[in-house]
Structure 1
Amino acid sequence: MENRKKVAFYTLGCKLNFSETSTIARNLQDEGFDRVDFEEVADMYVINTCSVTENADKQFKQVVRKAMKLNDKAFVAAVGCYAQLKPEELAAVDGVDLVLGATEKFKLNDYINDLSKNDMGEVHSCEIAEADFYVGSYSIGDRTRAFLKVQDGCDYKCTYCTIPLARGISRSDELQNVLKNAKEISAQNIKEIVLTGVNIGDYGKGEFGNKKHEHTFLELVQALDEVEGIERLRISSIEPNLLKNETIEFVSKSRTFVPHFHIPLQSGSNDILKLMKRRYLREVYTERVAKIREVMPHACIGVDVIVGFPGETDEHFLETYHFLNDLDISYLHVFTYSERDNTEAAEMEGVVPSNVRAKRSKMLRSLSVKKRRAFYESQLGTQRTVLFEGENKEGYIHGFTENYVKVKTPWNPELVNTLHEINLTRIDEDGSVRMEFVSALV
């Protein structure tokens, strides 16, 4: 047993990356590695990269430096989106030994031998057209929730996005395999599964670019709702044009799917949506929110929005601001536009100065605080179900209700990963909600 090597992982970016990191880690554990925390000394450090924001690029270098400080003889491997888009750039970072692109990342063990350092990072990447097969994955053991990947890649051509270049065409897991993974997760006493992918509403496209949908997203949701042992299912993020009324209605009556939707908007101006080549106009977004509110008045609705896109004038931005202010939503994820290589938007005119982008971002973040507060206030006095997380934060344990209200109560380790009926009583100074117990569930 003393010959087993130690491996540590660091994940940048989205829930999908977390699910894939967890799968890569399980593969390596099967091959004789012991997983340790990234803060510990390890024989190998694996960094799962992201390329969505400029910041993620810089973060990668910081993470490599951190690994080298822990053990300057450790083998460092980079996988993920940035590794596919800019492999040579990553390979040139001091300390990096191996860079694996989109088709190779799940075969990490094939590329490591005695873990001796390389003079120069070794690159194994592919033409992204070769990423036409599907590898299922899910995360367990990292947190109270599991992230279950159901789809990968994207056929959309949004002018600001590198994801199709990093992950390839839209393709999906077979329904039976998703259900098998869901059962494996529930057998680990995990109470909540979050469905993840690049464009999960496009679920059903087969491997090898098969455009025929074997199953629809609605059929996926209906089948998962019947899996025994799962207490909660959450849809992570879904395009407004792919979130159908039938799905919204099914979730409202579902046994396990929770009333929480995260729906990317990106802009409240139709002019900017057209420049972004989004597949809907803002009127569609208004309809989706109205439908959710009609059948689930207490639902939580999160919104992605980008500020500072090329051509976004003050008028366009105010259109977005007022649109969101008037919309009955619960919180925003605000992204400041940053130019990405090989995207149409990077060549567009009307570049917005960085100080203006920052100002607009700040305005929308303030609006998000206001929206979340109003949503939380609307939930006070109601009875909800909470799933408690595993961390002791300054003497408190936190959890989330089914409709994504963050609650807190004094720390009690017995509450970790348990579900309870509670009453929401008041909003605390830190913005989370205080509660009273009604009854324990599981």
Structure 2
Amino acid sequence: MYKKKVAFYTIGCKLNYAETSTIARKFSNLYYQHVPFKSHADIYVINSCSVTKNAEIEFKHIVRFAVKKNSKAFIVAIGCYAQLNPKEVSSIIGVDLVLGYEEKFKIIDYINREWKKKYYAKIISKEIYFPSFSIGGRTRSFLKIQDGCDYKCSYCIIPMSRGPSRSDSIENILKNILFLFKKGVKEIVLTGINIGDYGKNIYVGNRRLYSFFDLIQAIDKIQEKVRIRLSSIEPNLLKDEYIEFLSKSKRFVPHFHIPLQSGSNDILMRMHRRYRRELYQKKVKKIRDLMPDAYIGSDIIVGFPGETHKHFLETFHFLKKLEISSLHIFTYSSRPNTKSSLIQENIYKKIQWKRNQILRILSEKKYRFFCKKQINTKKIVLFENNYHNKEYLYGYTENYIRTKIPLNLYNSSIYENTLQDVLLTKVDKDGIMIAKPIN
């Protein structure tokens, strides 16, 4: 029997990667052959993003790539872009089927049946939740614990593309963690759209059944030697009691990603963020007091409508003094049907680009400074599987420092997908830590 070749491509966040992996597992090996996206395939599934205009442009580029590989291939669009604008996505040359949030988890049904139209995308219900996790090809797994968002940040399209906040049960999350551990996964990243809001939709009568604190306490009791990371968590939801608990945790690593978006309170108000920079500063100090070596990453948006030079300088100087480890810099991208898209005070692209570059340089300096402080300290590195590199084997420390060991000195097969004690010795020109295993 001929097995149809199917290939997958993911644009966007860790949550998308978790869902792509879950959807890919629905294509049984009995009937389908999974191949790399760069290969000739009969079916291409592209998981899209709509956070920025560039993500939508990338989607169109990937569709063209698939068409060039096989002009007769069946191309399926899923993800946020597909949910938000199914009609627009379906009009892109090469796209054969568009599936929204709920429909993408029933992808086999849609592919196998006589479909009458090109796109399907229902409004996302607060009752609908699909557990997801990634597995295979990576040493770590992304595990979805929560989806959707009830926040109304003025620039953000995610509540429209992902729906209201809803969560998985603690029992199911623990079951999935144990399943992944038994499959050889050594590190799990808890992902979601707004993970600090975990449990918001789960009630018994009028009583909320779970909170985020309940979840992390339950996970920390797991006996298996698996390490857990948190993905991005809002500063106003990162309570002091969480930080105190995580500082003593047996399973959670000292790694935080806390979006700031702007160091100017005026801009934070325009963004409709639920905190001010003083709160953010307190959270960073709390972490540093309890976990001096913790990695703290942040997100910043530059060029938000009405961001003056003074506002940008406020952000720059605030970040410069802040004891964080690195920054993810995003240039503001106007999204349809958001409140910020109605603001007329747009910033010239040249100015946006310049501000982006200034903060990227600051981020590189901060990360290198953070790494240098770790030299001559002992850490635990999870080494990755080595598919191509002949010089080094790479991995991450518990506090998220990219680390490598030279293969001319160490046998990669011994260290791949293992947690190893190492001594950090030097930071190379690319900002990667060189280490020496401690036997």
- With normalisation by structure 1, the TM-score equals 0.95
> Aligned AA for 2:39?
E
Say if 1:158 and 1:277, in contact at 8 Å, map to a contact too.
yes
* RMSD of aligned Cα (Å): 1.9
Q: 1:127 to 1:191 in 2, by over 3 A?
A: same
> Aligned AA for 1:234?
R
For residues 251-305 of structure 1, the C-alpha deviation after alignment (integer angstroms, 9 at most, x for no partner) is 1111110000000000001110010000101111001000000110010000101
Say if 1:155 and 1:164, in contact at 8 Å, map to a contact too.
yes
Separation of aligned partners in 1, 2:423 and 2:66? 44
**Matching of residues 171-190 of structure 1 within 5 Å:** 171-190=166-185
Equivalent position of 1:438 in the other structure: 438
Q: Determine if the alignment matches structure 1 residue 348 to structure 2 residue 343.
A: yes
Separation of aligned partners in 2, 1:390 and 1:143? 7
Say if 1:50 and 1:80, in contact at 8 Å, map to a contact too.
yes
What percent of counterpart residues are identical?
A: 54
SS at match of 1:417: coil
Which shows bigger deviation, 325-334 or 412-421? 412-421
**Matching of residues 23-102 of structure 1 within 5 Å:** 23-29=22-28, 32-102=31-101
Q: Using the TM superposition, give the Cα deviation of residue 245 of structure 1 relative to its aligned residue in structure 2, in angstroms.
A: 1.1
**Matching of residues 243-262 of structure 1 within 5 Å:** 243-262=238-257
Say if 2:202 and 2:209, in contact at 8 Å, map to a contact too.
no
**Matching of residues 149-298 of structure 1 within 5 Å:** 149-206=144-201, 213-298=208-293
Q: 1:100 to 1:70 in 2, by over 3 A?
A: same
Equivalent position of 2:429 in the other structure: 429
SS at match of 2:151: coil
Q: Say which of 381, 387, 393 aligns to 2:382.
A: 387
> Aligned AA for 2:305?
P
Q: Determine if the alignment matches structure 1 residue 363 to structure 2 residue 358.
A: yes
SS at match of 2:396: strand
Equivalent position of 2:3 in the other structure: 4
Separation of aligned partners in 2, 1:334 and 1:85? 24
> Aligned AA for 1:296?
M
Q: Determine if the alignment matches structure 1 residue 140 to structure 2 residue 139.
A: no
Q: Say which of 379, 384, 399 aligns to 1:403.
A: 399
Say if 2:404 and 2:435, in contact at 8 Å, map to a contact too.
yes
SS at match of 1:42: coil
Q: Paired residues, what number?
A: 434
Say if 2:126 and 2:165, in contact at 8 Å, map to a contact too.
no
SS at match of 1:220: helix
SS at match of 1:379: coil
Separation of aligned partners in 1, 2:71 and 2:117? 15
Say if 1:16 and 1:147, in contact at 8 Å, map to a contact too.
yes
Q: Using the TM superposition, give the Cα deviation of residue 211 of structure 1 relative to its aligned residue in structure 2, in angstroms.
A: 8.8
> Aligned AA for 1:9?
F
Q: 1:14 to 1:426 in 2, by over 3 A?
A: same
Say if 1:50 and 1:82, in contact at 8 Å, map to a contact too.
yes
Q: Determine if the alignment matches structure 1 residue 111 to structure 2 residue 107.
A: no
- With normalisation by structure 2, the TM-score equals 0.95
Q: Using the TM superposition, give the Cα deviation of residue 126 of structure 1 relative to its aligned residue in structure 2, in angstroms.
A: 1.4
Separation of aligned partners in 2, 1:125 and 1:133? 13
Say if 2:102 and 2:122, in contact at 8 Å, map to a contact too.
yes
Q: Determine if the alignment matches structure 1 residue 122 to structure 2 residue 118.
A: yes
> Aligned AA for 1:5?
K
Separation of aligned partners in 2, 1:310 and 1:279? 18
> Aligned AA for 1:338?
S
For residues 203-225 of structure 1, the C-alpha deviation after alignment (integer angstroms, 9 at most, x for no partner) is 002369x9963211111111111
Q: Using the TM superposition, give the Cα deviation of residue 230 of structure 1 relative to its aligned residue in structure 2, in angstroms.
A: 4.0
Separation of aligned partners in 1, 2:304 and 2:274? 17
Separation of aligned partners in 2, 1:31 and 1:127? 33
Separation of aligned partners in 1, 2:208 and 2:330? 32
Separation of aligned partners in 1, 2:32 and 2:189? 27
Q: 1:38 to 1:268 in 2, by over 3 A?
A: same
SS at match of 1:424: strand
Say if 1:10 and 1:47, in contact at 8 Å, map to a contact too.
yes
Separation of aligned partners in 1, 2:154 and 2:199? 24
Q: 1:306 to 1:211 in 2, by over 3 A?
A: farther
Gaps in structure 1 of 5+ consecutive residues: none
SS at match of 1:29: coil
Q: 1:137 to 1:269 in 2, by over 3 A?
A: same
